[in-house]
Amino acid sequence: MAVQIQGTWIEEDKQVIHINAWFLQTWIDPRLTWDHKDYGGLKNVHFGDHEVWQPGIVLYNNADVTKVDPYGNTDLVVEADGTVWWVPPTTLRAECPLDVTYWPYDSQTCGLYLGSWTRHGYHIDIQLYRNKSEVISGWFMKHTHSWQFLGGQLSVKIKEYPTASLRYVMLQMIVGFSRVSPIFTYTVVFPAIVVSALTLMQFVLPMREPRRLMLGCVSLLLTLMHLVYLVSVVPTLSDSVPIVVKFFGQTLAVTVVSVGVSATLLRLTDTRQPTISFAPPIALKTLLTGPLGTILFLRQYTDKVGMSGGAAEDGEVLEETRPTSHHYEWLLVAAAVDRIAVLAFIATFFITFIAYVAAV
């Protein structure tokens, strides 16, 4: 047996692969032999489909249970020595679980398993034609439906049942494909870069700058809109989650933290509102005024903890606060959350970038 693929595509929403192929099957039927000298040198005869015995090889992991026979209605050629040649056009529709971790630059590997539905290996012994294991791409093969055929391998698998003294022979076909969809570069990659830039710009602005809150809301809206778009184009039945979806989800979380910090600081520095009379937990305060505060560059805040007067932050002069206020302590906490959020976002961005570069 041999296979030459002429076309293929994947139904991503159903996780089903379609393969159009020419399926070479050849066998020897001792009942169909003759001496060509007795028949005027006739060396071969054409028979219609199902006019002679056929092995009945079907697809085991068939995704279309209503269509068991995948072969086209074509003639068979029988030679004088009993060799039968049959190369029908075949449409295989098989289940293929997708791994969309690296979507939209993902590659997929699908397995198709063929064999006799009713006959064991002592009746039908499947073998590779001339021991060739490579799946050939045909003359009409091209990039179709955003997928490129990478190649495939054929192998014969044997399942033994010692208690029943039976063996079943199966043809395994493993094929690989890679996604070819340049449009996603403009609809997924570029928007991800823009959202990343907007998110980083939030952390460049002073924490109590009202424009930072506005920029954060814009970034939050764009991230939500793009997540909605990704839901409509990413296969939802897969067990894996694309890295790009995780990235937008993490960006959403970081943006929410940034907006929350900005809104909280605007509330803390609003002199029209009552001051905060309770302090952060002592353990948290001790942690942030120690080595962690140095790592997060919180020196300008730790120096003012416990003071009642105003001080400069990002080049701005703060107004005098009341002695009973714990503004600076809460400013320290907010600044720490802000720093941790930006570090988490930068780490997420580079991890995502490295993962995609390694995949491509």
- Radius of gyration from C-alpha coordinates of the chain: 34
Token reading at 352: 């995502």
- CA separation for the pair 156, 121 (Å, rounded): 11
Are the CB atoms for 306 and 324 separated by under 8 Å?
no
CA distance readout (Å), 93 to 8, 57, 235, 254: 10, 14, 18, 43
The per-residue pLDDT for 319 is: 44
Q: How much is the mean pLDDT over the chain?
A: 82
What end-to-end distance do the CA atoms of the chain give, in Å?
Answer: 34
CA distance 115 to 111: 14
For range 133-153, the mean pLDDT: 79
Predicted confidence at residue 182, as pLDDT, reads 84
Phi and psi at 24, nearest 5°, equal -75, 125
Residue 193 φ then ψ, to 5°: -65, -40
Q: What is the mean pLDDT of residues 209-224?
A: 87
Q: Give the model's pLDDT for residue 271.
A: 52
Q: What is the pLDDT of residues 12-33, one digit of tens each?
A: 889 999 999 999 999 999 999 9
The β-bridge relationship of strands 107-116 and 89-95 is unpaired
Tell me the pLDDT band of 357, cut-offs 50, 70 and 90.
low
Q: What integer is the mean pLDDT of 80-98?
A: 93
pLDDT value for 43: 93
Q: Is the pLDDT of residue 356 over 80?
A: no
pLDDT of residue 317: 40
**Residue whose entry in the numeric block shows the structure tokens 């909280």:** 264
Asked if the model's pLDDT at residue 310 lies above 70, the reply is no
Coil, helix or strand at residue 342: helix
Q: Is the pLDDT of residue 303 over 70?
A: no
Report residue 325's pLDDT band, with 50, 70 and 90 as the boundaries. low
* 112 DSSP β-pair partners: 173
